Amino acid sequence: MQFQGIDTNSLPSSFSFLVQVLRRASVEVVRKNALQLASISNFNISEWRVVTGLYVFGKCSQKSLVDWAGDDQAQVSRCLWQLKEKDLVQSEASPKDRRAVNFELTRLGAMLVEDAYPDMLKYAKRIDDSLNEEEKAIFIGLMNRIIEATELMPSGDQ
Alpha-helical (H) ranges within the chain are: 17-40, 45-57, 62-69, 73-85, 107-128, 133-149
Long-range contacts of 16-22 (CB under 8 A, 24+ apart): 18/146, 22/146
pTM: 0.79
Residues 6+ away with beta carbon under 8 Å from 144:
none
Encoded amino acid at 121, one letter: L
Question: What is the length of the chain?
Answer: 158
- pLDDT band at 146; cut points 50, 70, 90: very high
- Tell me what the mean pLDDT of segment 10-38 comes to: 85
What is the tens place of the pLDDT at every residue in 99-139?
788 999 999 999 999 999 999 999 999 999 999 999 999 99
CA 151 – CA 107 distance, rounded (Å): 44
* Burial status of residue 83 (CB atoms within 10 A of its CB: 0-12, 13-18, 19 or more): buried
